[in-house]
């Protein structure tokens, strides 16, 4: 498969009469954009607010982030097959255009849930989320999804799907334009590679997607399919980069990977950069994080089998989540090592507020090479911001994984003056195990 | 100017060697012998007093020595405490650790020491305080004193400090998150680590795997038909109004609920508040986590003597070991008072 | 006082150092199974609890995972 990703670097986003991209400026016709959002009648209220890096803005509760994209020279108009539109087809081959340096961010106007998070656009808080570094076009919306209004776990379907549609709508404005640069991901079939490439150590990238909920509507999707109901499978890296995977709505958010993260997966890019030089990048094994031990063991067994069948010498294994998913991570790591596949893990830790808890709930001496991206329970205290996009109260009120209504010692997460205290757990996609993280955990 | 108090042994105070190791604690104003090197290296801090104690005195009369020294420190204003450097002197190292640990807790000031990695005091007290890795002998006095004094000066001034490895002290088992814009992204760190591992080159994991803690094995119950069994769960089963406001994740609270008049837990009366999994099944039938129904049957059949009249509940997801251990410590007394013989712990 | 831990995540129970371990069926329902009838679930629950109680009366030398049949 050969994927050409045409880049359009967005330097400014404004509202105007027509939706267009010119000289680095993305102009949005708000009415037209909101009409796309309102195609779903469950959206009862919607607005667009721009948050730029360096601005004194705090966004919460954030549910999803998506990079605006479109397909070029394709007979299909829906960018996320199986999720938006009706056509199901293979992605990862051909040309797609992307508005770089920005995301469409789905934000609750009022209500948050366990897997929602917070993003600060400046100050100390901007160190904790990748999304602090890019311009976020925030879709701030409310819905009539009464069945889950006061549930801690929400599917957030209307807002998340509106985010995907809006990203598609904005992406379409660069469909006919010539990109400033083109990134090419050309990875031939495994058996059709030059001997110079075949002689290099071959590696797979294993992603443990979020599939903790039994009921549909919460989990990560591949081409619209709930990955809870799958066994690990092989995917072409280009498919991951080109809209086949959708982030879910369940995981404590610092551990979560948004759709934007899959679209831009830095570990795939880093492996692709080494392909043909130091490594032979075989592909991506998509695994899951189900809730019964036998399912975890079965997935580990399949991952090891696929790696072994492909003849992989090495693997990078990335865990989305912590707590019981640590058991999947360690089981998979051990299965790969036992199959003779030299493995490096990427994960975050839960060492407690005092840093003294065991890092992962399940560990094995065989997992001897791990890149650590954060401590979910690290306490973070941040001053008030001038503007809040969404509703600050949600952090403490709605059961976000890193917020609380009251605490005997620390008081409430959200204080009257607008300052906050929270666990890293609630930083939107904060631990960036997908590969961005310029964070780690060290012993003090 | 902030104030520091130092602790040194009889040898470094110039009182004498082994023959003077029984020297009883005393406190002198200003610097004495070994504390001079520390004072010289401090920034914005001065050593106001030096405590001197013989190593054998501390070793053989620990309680007495600690009590005497604390008495001497009572009423003195100080912001930090130094002990040593102790190099490879074992008794001195242990003494430094003993006194520092108590001073930290009682006077709420940070304590700093320096020891060689072969000093048994380092392993014994590294979790409790900052102990710099020091030289083998007094030849390293200036460097060792300099290291801990410079670090302490930065801590007291509120400056940013690095990890144990970066600073050169023995890790205290506290793992914290750091952000460093000069750090390569995780993706690149992982790929580099993989290339090194594949090429049998050295690499350093960022998450060293600790050894498993084992719990001593308890003796089994002799006669089940006479035994009282208590049920604890970490699946967050509570009465529907969650009267103890147990948190759905990262719990610090627990509750116990009277089941003495129930044959089973009913959906609608009990539910799970655990945020880490799909609650549907447990809300419908809480016995799938807290199996009162089958235990009650067994009690009626005489297989077990009695079910303890309360069940105990908290939430396991994101809950740290420290909090979990504390909650367990709090649950134990009422369970023991009820003469419980065995515990069924259900975790989710 | 002996403690038996019924847990689906046996590796976690092992890592924590529990000595008497009995496997649970799944994380959200260690003693239930949505695929089974109420009666089957009750049987399974009773069986696993019997194994737990046996575990409490069994002398062990090392960390032990007791086997369940259903």
Domains of chain C, by residue range, sit at: 4-65
Residues B19 and B158 in one domain: yes
Rounded Cα–Cα distance for residues B13 and B95 (Å): 15
How is residue B221 annotated by DSSP? P
The per-residue pLDDT for B210 is 87
Q: What string of H, E and C letters represents the secondary structure of chain A?
A: CEEEEEEEECCEEEECCCCEEECCEEEECHHHHHHHHCCCCCEEEEEEEEECCCCCEEEEEEEEEECCEEEECCCCCCCCCCCCCCCCCCCCCEEEEEEECEEEEEEECCCCCCCCEEEECCCHHHHCCHHHCCEEEEEEEEECCHHHCCCCCCCCHHHHHHHHHHHHHHHHHHCCCCCCEEEEEECCCHHHCCHHHHCCCEEEEEEECCCCCCCCCCCCEECCEEHHHCCCEEECHHHHHCCCEECCCCCCHHHCCCHHHHHCCHHHHHHHHHECCCEEEEEEEEECCCCCHHHHHHHHHHHHHHHHHHCCCEEEEEECCCCCHHHHHHHHHHHHHHCCCEEEEEEEECCCCCCCCCCCCCCCCCCCCEEEEEECCCEEEECCCCEEEECCCHHHHCCCCCCCCCCCCCCCCECCCCCEEEEHHHECCCCCCCCCCCEEEEEC
Q: Which residue is it, tokens 């010498």?
A: A313
Q: How confident is the model at residue B82 (pLDDT cuts 50, 70, 90)?
A: very high
**Which residue in chain A is spatially nearest to B131 when comparing CA positions?**
A444
pLDDT single digits (tens) C23-48: 999 999 999 999 999 999 999 999 99
Return the SS3 of C1: coil
Q: Which residues contact B95 (CB under 8 A, 6 or more apart)?
A: B7, B9, B53, B55, B58, B59, B83, B86, B121
* Sequence-ordered alpha helix ranges (H) in chain C: 10-16, 38-57
Q: Is residue A436 part of a domain?
A: no
Q: Is residue B180 part of a domain?
A: no
Residues B275 and B157 in one domain: no
Q: Is residue B326 part of a domain?
A: yes
Range of B317's domain? Answer: 224-346
Q: Do the Cβ atoms of B197 and A369 come within 8 Å? A: yes
Instruction: List C residues 38-57 in contact with B (Cβ-Cβ < 8 A).
Output: 41-42, 45-46, 49-50, 52-53, 56-57
Percent of chain B, pLDDT > 70? 100
Q: Is the pLDDT of residue B257 over 90?
A: yes
**ipTM, interface predicted TM-score of the complex:** 0.97
pLDDT in tens, chain A (444 residues): 999 999 999 999 999 999 999 999 999 999 999 999 999 999 999 999 999 999 999 999 999 999 999 999 999 999 999 999 999 999 999 999 999 999 999 999 999 999 999 999 999 999 999 999 999 999 999 999 999 999 999 999 999 999 999 999 999 999 999 999 999 999 999 999 999 999 999 999 999 999 999 999 999 999 999 999 999 999 999 999 999 999 999 999 999 999 999 999 999 999 999 999 999 999 999 999 999 999 999 999 999 999 999 999 999 999 999 999 999 999 999 999 999 999 999 999 999 999 999 999 999 999 999 999 999 999 999 999 999 999 999 999 999 999 999 999 999 999 999 999 999 999 999 999 999 999 999 999
Residues of B in Cβ contact (< 8 Å) with A349: 175, 207
DSSP string, B7-42: EEETTTTTS-SGGGTTPPPEEEES--TTHHHHHHH-
Rounded Cα–Cα distance for residues A339 and A305 (Å): 8
Instruction: List B residues 254-293 in contact with C (Cβ-Cβ < 8 A).
Output: 276-282, 285, 287-289, 291, 293
The per-residue pLDDT for A340 is 98
Q: Is residue B210 part of a domain?
A: no
Q: How confident is the model at residue B322 (pLDDT cuts 50, 70, 90)?
A: confident
Tokens of B131: 């102990």
* Sequence-ordered alpha helix ranges (H) in B47-176: 55-60, 62-73, 90-107, 120-125, 141-156, 164-167
Q: Is the pLDDT of residue B320 over 90?
A: no
Return the SS3 of B196: helix
Q: Do the Cβ atoms of A291 and C15 come within 8 Å? A: no
pLDDT single digits (tens) A275-304: 999 999 999 999 999 999 999 999 999 999
Chains interfacing with A (3 or more CB pairs < 8 Å): B, C
Q: Is residue B192 part of a domain?
A: no
The per-residue pLDDT for B214 is 76
The per-residue pLDDT for C15 is 86
Residue A111 φ/ψ region, left for φ over 0, alpha for ψ in the -120 to 50 degree band, beta for the rest: beta
Rounded Cα–Cα distance for residues B304 and A385 (Å): 60
The per-residue pLDDT for A240 is 98
Rounded Cα–Cα distance for residues B253 and B235 (Å): 13
Q: Which residues contact A261 (CB under 8 A, 6 or more apart)?
A: A65, A130, A247, A429, A432, A434, A436
Q: Which residue is it, tokens 């009539």?
A: A144
**Which residue in chain B is spatially nearest to C29 when comparing CA positions?**
B288
The per-residue pLDDT for B276 is 85
Number of domains in chain A: 1
Closest CA to B277 of A248, A216, C29: C29
The per-residue pLDDT for A353 is 92
- Evaluate whether B103 touches B109 at the Cβ level (below 8 Å): yes
How is residue B138 annotated by DSSP? G
Q: Is the pLDDT of residue B319 over 90?
A: no
Cis? peptide before A61, omega within 30° of 0: yes
Q: Is residue B29 part of a domain?
A: yes
Q: Which of B207, B209, B283 would best serve as a mutation to test chain A binding (most A beta carbons within 10 A)?
A: B207
- Evaluate whether A250 touches A117 at the Cβ level (below 8 Å): no
C26-55 burial by CB neighbour count: b if 16+ within 10 A, else e?
bbbbbbbbeeeeeeebbebbbebbebbbeb
The per-residue pLDDT for C3 is 97
Q: Which residue is it, tokens 């209307």?
A: A158
Q: Is residue A125 part of a domain?
A: yes
Looking at CA atoms only, how far is residue B34 from chain A in angstroms? 27
Residues B69 and B142 in one domain: yes
Number of domains in chain B: 2
Range of A54's domain? Answer: 2-426
* H or E element that contains B211: none
Q: Is residue A268 part of a domain?
A: yes
Mean pLDDT of B141-153: 97
CB-CB neighbours of A408 under 10 Å? 7
Q: Do the Cβ atoms of A440 and B184 come within 8 Å? A: no
Chains interfacing with C (3 or more CB pairs < 8 Å): A, B
Residues of B in Cβ contact (< 8 Å) with A114: 248-249, 275
Q: Which of B160, B170, B188, B190 would best serve as a mutation to test chain A binding (most A beta carbons within 10 A)?
A: B190
Residue B203, class by beta-carbon neighbours within 10 Å (0-12 exposed, 13-18 middle, 19+ buried)? middle
Tokens of A55: 């601005």
Q: How confident is the model at residue B317 (pLDDT cuts 50, 70, 90)?
A: confident
Q: Do the Cβ atoms of A370 and B205 come within 8 Å? A: yes
pLDDT single digits (tens) B179-188: 999 999 999 9
Tokens of A63: 């549910």
Tokens of B228: 């009282």
- Evaluate whether A209 touches A258 at the Cβ level (below 8 Å): no
Percent of chain A, pLDDT > 90? 100
Q: Which of C19, C24, C26, C32 would best serve as a mutation to test chain B binding (most B beta carbons within 10 A)?
A: C32
Rounded Cα–Cα distance for residues B231 and B287 (Å): 12
B215 CB near a chain C CB, below 8 Å?
yes
Backbone angles phi, psi at B324, to 5 degrees: -60, -45
- Evaluate whether A121 touches A56 at the Cβ level (below 8 Å): yes
| Domain termination site, one of B136, B152, B167 | B167
Order of strands, sheet of B26-29, starting from the edge strand that comes earlier in the sequence = B26-29, B45-53, B2-9, B80-83, B111-115, B130-133
pLDDT single digits (tens) B205-250: 999 998 877 789 999 999 999 999 999 999 999 999 999 999 998 8
| Angle, helix B90-107 to helix B62-73, in steps of 10 degrees | 50
For position B43, which CATH number holds?
A: 3.40.50
Q: Which of A296, A344, A365, A373 would best serve as a mutation to test chain B binding (most B beta carbons within 10 A)?
A: A344
Q: Is residue A443 part of a domain?
A: no
Compare CB distances from C15 to B212, B218, B278 and report the shortest one's residue: B212
Q: How confident is the model at residue C6 (pLDDT cuts 50, 70, 90)?
A: very high
């Amino acid at each position: 498969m050969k994927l050409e990703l045409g880049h359009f670097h967005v330097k400014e986003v404004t509202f105007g009469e027509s939706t267009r991209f010119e000289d680095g400026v993305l102009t949005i016709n708000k009415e037209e954009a909101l009409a796309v959002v309102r195609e779903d009648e469950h959206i009862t209220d919607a607005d667009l607010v721009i948050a730029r890096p360096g601005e004194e803005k705090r966004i919460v509760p954030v549910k999803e982030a998506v990079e605006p994209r479109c397909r070029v020279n394709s007979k299909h108009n829906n960018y996320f097959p199986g999720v938006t539109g009706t056509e199901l087809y293979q992605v990862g081959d051909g040309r797609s255009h992307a508005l770089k340096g920005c995301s469409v961010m789905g934000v609750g106007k009022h209500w948050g849930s366990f897997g929602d998070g917070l993003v600060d656009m400046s100050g100390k808080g901007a160190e904790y989320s990748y999304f602090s570094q890019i311009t976020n076009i925030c879709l701030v919306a409310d819905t009539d999804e009464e069945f889950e209004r006061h549930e801690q776990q929400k599917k957030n379907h209307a807002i998340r799907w509106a985010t995907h549609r809006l990203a598609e709508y904005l992406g379409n404005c660069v469909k006919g334009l010539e990109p400033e640069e083109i990134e090419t991901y050309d990875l031939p079939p495994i058996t059709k590679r030059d001997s110079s490439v075949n002689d290099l150590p071959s590696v797979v990238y294993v992603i443990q997607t979020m599939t903790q909920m039994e009921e549909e509507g919460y989990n990560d999707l591949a081409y619209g399919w709930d990955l809870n109901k799958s066994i690990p499978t092989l995917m072409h890296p280009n498919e991951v980069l080109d809209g086949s995977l959708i982030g879910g709505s369940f995981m404590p958010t610092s551990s979560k990977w948004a759709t934007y993260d899959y679209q831009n997966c830095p570990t795939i890019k880093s492996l692709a950069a080494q392909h043909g030089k130091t490594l032979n990048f075989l592909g991506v094994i998509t695994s899951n994080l189900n809730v019964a031990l036998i399912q975890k063991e079965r997935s580990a067994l399949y991952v090891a089998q696929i790696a072994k069948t492909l003849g992989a010498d090495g693997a990078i294994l990335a865990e989305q989540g912590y707590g019981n998913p640590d058991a999947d991570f360690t089981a998979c790591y051990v299965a790969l090592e036992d199959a003779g596949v030299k493995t490096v893990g990427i994960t975050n830790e839960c060492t407690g507020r005092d840093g003294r808890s065991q890092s992962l709930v399940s560990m094995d001496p065989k997992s001897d090479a791990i890149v650590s991206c954060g401590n979910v329970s690290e306490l973070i205290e941040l001053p008030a911001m001038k503007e809040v996009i969404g509703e600050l109260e949600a952090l403490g009120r709605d059961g976000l994984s890193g917020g609380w209504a009251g605490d005997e010692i620390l008081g409430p997460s959200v204080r009257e003056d607008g300052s906050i205290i929270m666990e890293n757990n609630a930083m939107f996609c904060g631990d960036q195990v997908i590969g961005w993280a310029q964070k780690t955990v060290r012993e003090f | 100017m902030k104030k520091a108090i130092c602790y040194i042994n009889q040898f470094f105070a110039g009182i004498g060697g082994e023959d003077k190791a029984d020297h009883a604690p005393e406190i002198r104003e200003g610097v004495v012998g070994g504390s001079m090197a520390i004072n010289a290296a401090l920034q914005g801090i001065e050593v106001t007093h030096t405590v001197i104690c013989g190593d054998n005195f501390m070793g053989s009369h620990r309680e007495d020595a600690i009590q005497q020294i604390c008495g001497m420190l009572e009423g003195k204003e100080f912001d930090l405490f130094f002990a040593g450097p102790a190099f490879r002197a074992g008794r001195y190292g242990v003494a430094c650790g003993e006194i520092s640990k108590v001073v930290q807790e009682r006077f709420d000031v940070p304590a700093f020491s320096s020891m060689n990695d072969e000093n048994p005091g380092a392993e014994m007290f590294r979790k409790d305080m900052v102990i710099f890795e020091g030289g083998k002998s007094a030849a390293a006095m200036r460097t060792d004193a300099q290291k801990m004094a410079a670090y302490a000066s930065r801590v007291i001034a509120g400056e940013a400090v690095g990890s144990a490895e970066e600073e050169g002290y023995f890790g205290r088992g506290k793992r914290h998150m750091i952000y460093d814009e000069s750090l390569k992204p995780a993706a690149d760190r992982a790929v580099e680590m993989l290339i090194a591992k594949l090429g049998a080159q050295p690499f350093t994991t960022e998450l060293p795997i600790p050894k498993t803690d084992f719990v001593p094995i308890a003796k089994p119950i002799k006669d089940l038909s006479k035994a009282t069994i208590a049920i604890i769960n970490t699946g967050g089963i509570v009465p529907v109004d969650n009267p103890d406001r147990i948190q759905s994740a990262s719990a610090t609270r627990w509750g116990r609920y009277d089941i003495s008049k129930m044959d089973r837990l009913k959906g609608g009366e009990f539910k799970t508040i655990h945020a880490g999994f799909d609650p549907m099944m447990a809300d419908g039938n809480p016995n799938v986590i807290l199996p009162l129904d089958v235990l009650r049957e067994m009690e009626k059949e005489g297989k077990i003597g009695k079910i303890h009249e309360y069940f105990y509940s908290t939430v396991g997801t994101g809950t740290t070991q420290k909090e979990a251990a504390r909650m367990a410590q709090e649950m134990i007394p009422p369970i023991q008072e009820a003469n419980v013989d065995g515990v069924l712990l259900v975790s989710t | 006082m002996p403690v038996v831990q019924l847990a689906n995540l046996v590796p976690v129970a092992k890592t924590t150092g529990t000595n008497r371990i009995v496997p649970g069926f799944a994380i959200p329902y260690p003693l239930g199974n949505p695929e089974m009838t109420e009666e089957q679930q009750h049987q399974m629950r009773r069986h696993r609890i019997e194994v737990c109680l046996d575990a409490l009366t069994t002398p062990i030398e090392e960390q032990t995972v007791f086997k369940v049949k259903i």
